[in-house]
Copies of this chain bind each other. A is one copy, B any other.
Amino acid sequence: MPHFLSTTDPDFETRFAALLTMKREDSPDVDEAVAKIITDVRTRGDAAVLELTARFDRMQLTADKLRFSDAEIDALCAEVSDEEREALELAAQRIRAYHVRQMPLDQMWTDPDGATLGWRWTPVSAAGLYVPGGLASYPSSVLMNAIPAKVAGVERLAITVPTPDGVANPLVLLAARIAGVDEIYRVGGAQAIAALAYGTETIAPVDKITGPGNAFVAAAKRRVFGKVGIDMIAGPSEILVIADKHNDPDWIAVDLMSQAEHDESAQSILITDDAAFGAAVAQAVEKRLETLERRKIAGKSWEDFGVVITVRDLGEAAMLSDRFAPEHLELCVEDPDGLSEKIHHAGAIFLGAWTPEAIGDYVGGPNHVLPTARSARFSSGLSVLDFLKRTTLAKMSPEALKAIGPAAERLAKSESLEAHGLSVRARLDRLNADD
């Protein structure tokens, strides 16, 4: 049974607030182990990476085997069916078309004082993408991380993916090839993150690391942050569906289950203005849970973290949704665009009943790497901006310096930074002497 709430309940606010702060994930404390692994890779390079790979992935490698050769990639890609290849290619093409539009423009202008100002965007030189092994080895995530990097203009894009017992996922390799990845290494865990951040004899260091991973990978990313840039540390997935009674309860039920099946810690929330519809969806969920392949995972997530909230009207639904700031938000209502205008905090919005969230996971075009755990209040999904940085530009004409230099000198004095003021004064004195 999920949590049932109604905004007309006298204890609604208390129960809702408790839901907002509910802890869904207990990360094991692996920080000490990870610190040791990072030091080991920094100190001993390839040798450490090879030992750790032998220990964790049961693979006896030599340094020259760390990187997948072109022939190996060719052979694995050939295992993929035509149908899967075409689906990946369609997804890649749509993701690329969306992200190309995100490329920001450089600007440069001269203001009335004679100061020429602006900025310029440049890509990071090298990026590393972590891809989990085993069950969570998702080719769609390879596309979602790698394509924005390549659209941004990253010259060197390396992937690390563990291959426990030597088993590689052909779809991951094919996705990497389609996305234009330059190097693929069979390394996983904290040792992969350390190698990407600090480099080894075989793996050159990168400037930015993105991609999901387990507790070891997350702890390693936190530790190397500063030495390199990292993306967000993602928590378990969430979906919030706002649906009125004009929906098919089964469609909404299966949408809720599409998050719940990810992980027992995932959260699926329905907000509706019709209590009977809410009950019908809950019933449809139970029905789907009878046959779903991942019913154990999805059922546990729904029982522990599932929520059905009945509201007085859709305006109330938007307000509550903003307090969740959900990763994924489906608006299955008559006027989804109008309701969307009332939403301020959400990673991605799916407008209307013909847009199940799963479309966005694969082929919609927008990125599926999105802020979780209410962080959509202050952060955004992955984009080309994550692989770019901005250099600001300023050029003073002598006239501009005359016009605004004295104010800089004045403020430098107020802040007791004499040399700051003198660097302006030396130039102003020359200008005055020249007059």
Contacts and interface: CB of A to CB of B under 8 A. Distances in A.
A228 B378 contact: yes
B383 A379 contact: no
Contact of A363 (B288, B376, B408): B408
B398 A354 contact: yes
Interface in A356-394: 356-367, 370-371, 373, 375-381, 383, 385, 389-394
A116 interface: yes
Contacts of A115: 94, 364-365
A315 interface: no
Residue from A255, A257, A353, A355 having most chain B Cβ neighbours under 10 A: A355
Interface stretch (A70-78, A269-277, A336-344): A336-344
Given A394-B365, A417-B261, A401 B122 contact: no
Contacts of A347: 391-392
A43 interface: no
A88 B396 contact: no
A241 to B, nearest CB: 11
Nearest to A348: B392
A410 B423 CA distance: 64
Interface stretch (A52-60, A134-142, A185-193): A134-142
Interface in A116-172: 116-117, 119, 122, 124-125, 135, 138-140, 171
Contacts of A101: 107, 109
A408 B233 contact: no
Contacts of A378: 124, 207-208, 228-229, 389
A421 B111 CA distance: 55
Nearest to A209: B378
Contact of A344 (B125, B336, B381): B125
Given A257-B419, A364-B404, 10 more contacts: A101-B107, A117-B366, A139-B411, A248-B430, A250-B426, A292-B422, A347-B392, A354-B398, A354-B427, A358-B412
22 contacts: A87-B410, A90-B404, A104-B104, A125-B344, A207-B378, A228-B378, A229-B379, A250-B426, A251-B427, A254-B426, A261-B417, A292-B419, A348-B393, A350-B395, A351-B394, A354-B398, A358-B417, A359-B404, A362-B408, A380-B390, A380-B391, A385-B385
Interface of A: 83-84, 86-88, 90-91, 94, 97-98, 101-102, 104, 107, 109, 111, 115-117, 119, 122, 124-125, 135, 138-140, 171, 207-208, 226, 228-229, 233, 248, 250-251, 254-255, 257-258, 260-262, 288, 292-294, 298, 336-337, 340, 343-367, 370-371, 373, 375-381, 383, 385, 389-398, 400-401, 404-408, 410-412, 414-424, 426-427, 430
